[in-house]
Amino acid sequence: MDRVDFVIDSVYGKVLDVGFDHGSLHSKIKENFPQKDIYGIDIVMKEKSKNYKNGTAEKIPFEKSFFDSIVAGELIEHLKKPELFVKEAKRVLKKRGVLVLTTPNRKSLVNRVTKSYFTPIHFSLFTKQELENLLQENGFEIEKFECFPYTEESSKGAKHKSMFAFRRIIHYFLPQTLQEQMCILARKVK
């Protein structure tokens, strides 16, 4: 299993992909769900339609209780106010809807060695506990949590591409607190 499998296995119904236009995750979602049920927002887009709109994670341009699932793949770390995104996700999710996040683990061993997560475009890096607290404080319960090594698919702009093979090898020898990419499935409860 990898990040893509985690996301595909976790979402259902009407799916909103926040920040969909950057990366390959959206094409995998499109391969697995009916086109009519796939939606996307991004701040910069190539093409707009009824299901694809310009918007930000902090102000999602859809009505209340519209989605069954929201995907935020490698997004939350780019937000200056991630709590606004979590509140917006809760607003547009139906009762018992799911929010699926993938994001770097601030305390991963690879990050401690390479400092690759500390870039000018990363404003909000989390540990597992910090991310869980943010979600729980805003009306979500954690259903599933896993970590995966970063790959080219999940790290389009990575500086240390030569390390992907090494990352895969060491990942399985590290305790989860030192692993890289956090993937979390949270369900709206309030």
* Distance in angstroms (rounded) separating the CA atoms of residues 44 and 20: 10
Q: What is the pLDDT of residue 128?
A: 95
Q: What is the pLDDT of residue 156?
A: 53
**pLDDT over 70 percentage in the chain:** 89
Question: Pick the residue with more confidence: 100 or 181?
Answer: 100
34 vs 29, 30, 97, CA distance in Å? 9, 7, 18
75 vs 16, 31, 57, 85, CA distance in Å? 13, 21, 9, 10
| The CATH number of domain 3-188, selected from 3.20.20.150, 1.20.1050.10, 3.40.50.150, 3.40.470.10 | 3.40.50.150
Which of 56-70, 112-126, 135-149, 171-185 has the weakest average pLDDT?
A: 112-126
Q: What is the mean pLDDT of the chain?
A: 87
pLDDT digits (tens, 9 = 90+) for 104-160: 988 888 777 776 666 777 788 789 999 999 999 999 999 999 998 876 554 555 555
Residue 180 has pLDDT above 90, yes or no: no
Question: Pick the residue with more confidence: 56 or 152?
Answer: 56
Residue 16 has pLDDT above 80, yes or no: yes
Q: What is the pLDDT of residue 154?
A: 47
